[in-house]
Every structure is written in structure tokens, then in C-alpha cells.
């Protein structure tokens, strides 16, 4: 397959901060232009997490919480096995 050339279309400025964004593929560039995408650093500044949420995420999981997670994952795999292969694990 022949490589398509597209000169001067792989760079565009971020709409918020003006830093130059570089794209290696034309379809990615066209999608970013159409969606008016911002750079990664500007996308992170829009993300707002409260201090309470950050402290909550730092706390270790309780034993009960770990057991609930384990049980739900086990149930998910059992259901997947039943749906995909049509038999019970019992």
C-alpha cells in the first residue's frame, strides 16, 4: 500500500494554551480538528477532584470491601463462562 503524503497538516495549536500538537496520522489529526481537542495538560486542568475524594482514595480498602470485590468478580466470571460455553461450573 502506498503511503499518502499530507504536507503541513500534522501540527496544530492547542485551542486553550497554544502549544503545538503533533499528529502522526491524518485521521487522528482530522478528528482532533473536528472535535476541537485540547492538549493533555489542558485536559487535566479541567478535571476537578475534591480534597475529600482524594483522602477517600488514599484510605486502604477494608476486609469487607475486598470480599465484596472478590465475590462480584467471581460471579462475573461464572456468568461469562455460562454464557460463552453453556455449562455450569458446579
90 part of a folded domain? no
* Whether 1 and 44 share a structural domain: yes
CA distance 71 to 52: 28
53 part of a folded domain? no
- Per-residue confidence at 1, pLDDT binned at 50, 70, 90? very low
pLDDT > 90? residue 87: no
pLDDT computed for residue 71 by the predictor: 95
Overall average pLDDT of the 22-35 stretch? 88
Q: Which residue has the higher pLDDT, 47 or 30?
A: 30
* Whether 72 and 31 share a structural domain: no
pLDDT > 80? residue 9: no
CA distance 64 to 74: 15
* Whether 43 and 2 share a structural domain: yes
The residue segments making up the domain with residue 72 are 60-85
Q: Which three three-digit cell numbers place residue 86?
A: 453453556
* Whether 30 and 9 share a structural domain: yes
55 part of a folded domain? no
pLDDT > 70? residue 7: no
Listed in order, strand segments (DSSP E) in 1-90 are 11-13, 20-22
30 part of a folded domain? yes
4 part of a folded domain? yes
Q: Which residue has the higher pLDDT, 67 or 89?
A: 67
Locus of grid cell 475534591: 50
| Domains: count for the chain | 2
Amino acid at each position: 500500500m502506498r503511503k499518502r503524503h499530507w504536507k503541513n497538516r500534522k501540527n496544530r495549536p492547542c485551542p486553550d494554551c497554544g502549544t503545538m500538537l503533533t499528529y502522526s496520522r491524518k485521521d487522528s489529526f482530522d478528528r482532533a480538528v473536528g472535535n476541537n481537542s485540547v492538549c493533555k495538560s489542558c485536559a487535566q486542568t479541567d478535571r476537578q477532584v475534591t480534597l475529600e475524594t482524594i483522602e477517600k482514595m488514599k484510605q486502604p480498602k477494608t476486609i469487607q470491601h475486598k470480599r465484596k470485590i472478590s465475590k462480584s468478580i467471581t460471579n462475573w466470571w461464572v456468568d461469562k463462562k455460562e454464557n460463552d460455553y453453556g455449562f455450569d461450573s458446579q
